[in-house]
Amino acid sequence: MTENNPVFHFSGYALVKDSLDCVPLDGRNVVNTISPNSYGISVHDKAMDEALKGSEFLILDGVYFGWLPRFRYGQKIKRITGWDSFQYFSHKMQERKGRVFFLGSGEETLQMIKERYAKDFPDVTVGTYSPPFKPEFTEEDNEAMHKAVNDFHPDVLFVGMTAPKQEKWSYRNKPYLDVHVITAIGNVFDWYAGNSKRPGVFWQKIGMEWLVRIFLRPEVFRRNITNQMLFFRHLLLILLRIKKL
C-alpha cells in the first residue's frame, strides 16, 4: 500500500488512517470498530474474526490497538470512535438530505433518538426498528430486519446492538441490505438518546474513557477484562516478534 492510501492494510485488517472521507457513500460497505476487547473476542470467536477482517473499513474505538501498526510498522492511525462515525455520517446525510436508519435498542430509546435527530439534522429522513432482545437472532428475526431496512431504503444504517453481536450482524447481513453504509456504533444509541452519558472530553482526548466506564459500569469491565488482557499479551509477543498477528 502506498503512503497516500487512506486505509492501512495489515494482517487482514483495513484500518482507516485519518478520516472517514475514504468511505464511499454510494457503495455497500461495513464500517466496524476495533479495540482490545473486540480483538480479544476475535481470538476465540471465528465469526468475530471474520467480521473484523471482512469489514471494508475498521476504525479505532480506542487508541491501544493502534499501538501495533505504530510500533511495528511506523504507521500512525488516528482514533475515530463510534460516536465520531455517527456524527460524520449524520452530517454527510444532512448535506445530502439523505436517509438514515437506526437498528437496535428499544422503542422508547429509538423514539428519543428520532426526536433529537429531527432537531440536530432536520433535513435527514429517519427510520427505526427495534429487534427482539435475545442472544441469537432466528432466520425470521433477520428477515424482519432486512425487510424493515430495505423498505425504507436508507443511505446509512446505524446498528446499535451489544458487542460482538453488532459487528457480526453487520458483516453477515450486508449482502441482504439495500444500503450504502453500515456502521456499528453500540453505546451511541444510549448516549444520543440521553439514557447514559459519555465520559467527558478530557478522558476522550487522552484515550481513557474506559477508566471512567469502570466506575460507571463495573459489570462491563469484569466481562471484558479477560479479552482486553489477552490483547495486551498478544501485543507484547507480536512486538517482540515472538508471535505473528
Cα–Cα distance, 209 to 196 (Å, whole number): 14
What pLDDT score does 216 carry?
A: 54
Q: What is the residue-level pLDDT of the chain in tens, covering all 245 positions?
A: 445 799 999 889 999 999 999 999 999 999 999 988 899 999 999 999 999 999 999 999 877 788 889 888 899 999 999 999 999 999 999 999 999 999 999 999 999 999 999 999 999 999 999 999 998 999 999 999 999 999 999 999 999 998 899 999 999 999 999 999 999 998 899 999 998 665 555 545 545 555 445 555 555 555 567 777 887 788 788 777 777 77
Q: How far is 48 from 76, CA to CA, in rounded Å?
A: 25
User: pLDDT value at position 241?
Assistant: 79
Q: Quick count: other Cβ atoms within 10 Å of Cβ 147?
A: 12
Cis peptide before 164 (omega within 30 of 0): yes
Looking at residue 1, its pLDDT comes to: 41
CB 203 within 8 A of CB 212: yes
